[in-house]
Amino acid sequence: MNLSDDLSSSHSKEHLRRLSKVKIKEPLLVERFISYDLYQKAESLLAYFPLAYEVDITLLLHKAMDDKKQLYLPKVMNQSMMTFFEVRNLTEDLSIGAYGMLEPLSSLPVWHPSQKPTIMLAPALATTISGYRLGHGGGFYDRFLASVATDTLDTIAVVDKTFSQCVFPTEVHDIPLHYILTQQQLIQSIL
């Protein structure tokens, strides 16, 4: 099956999710990303602690802290909502949370949309050229983005280059991200 073929069913979305579950360590992605103005001008970064099969941005998390940027990671608060908490230490400020993911402690400061300039990195198993991302199917990022004005932050889907220009069905509640970050480049979404 060609990855750019029309994936018009939920079965095909599941197929894409299975295909993309490979650990991806990408120090070059980090090196390139930190050279972009988008990163350099940002004072705070909403990011994620990668699961075993997501693009590994752990080096970027450390670099952001070294660069004195405020780093926020998501915590699942209930079955439909996540909140970003400030992390200052990737060892002491994290614990195993929902779905077996490393999440920040609830006692840490919460990110507020008035904090600018902010960029958000969201993990993606696949993306469309329009910036729609295929995640794990829980809708947490879409609900989070619907709760904040997306003009207050630059949103970036982090995806393996193999899955960066797929075609799959989107739903009314799906929110496209502004950029797509792969191992090779930062692509502005065609909205």
CA distance 14 to 58: 26
Pairing of strands 179-181, 153-158: parallel
pLDDT at 150: 66
Task: Give the 3-state secondary structure of residue 96.
Answer: strand
Binding residues: 54, 133-141
Binding residues for substrate: 54
In this model, does residue 1 exceed pLDDT 50? no
Q: Exposed, middle or buried, 15 (CB in 10 Å: 0-12/13-18/19+)?
A: middle
Q: For domain 10-188, say whether CATH 3.40.50.10420 is its number.
A: yes
Instruction: Indicate the average pLDDT of the chain.
Output: 86
Binding residues for ATP: 133-141
For 16-35, the pLDDT digits (tens) are 555 555 455 567 888 899 99
For 162-189, the pLDDT digits (tens) are 889 999 999 999 999 999 999 889 999 9
**To the nearest whole percent, how much of the chain has pLDDT over 90?**
62
Q: What residue ranges do the domains of the chain occupy?
A: 10-188
In this model, does residue 2 exceed pLDDT 90? no
Task: Give the 3-state secondary structure of residue 56.
Answer: strand
Which stretch of 37-46, 79-88, 97-106, 145-154 has the lowest confidence by average pLDDT? 145-154
Which pTM was predicted? Answer: 0.85
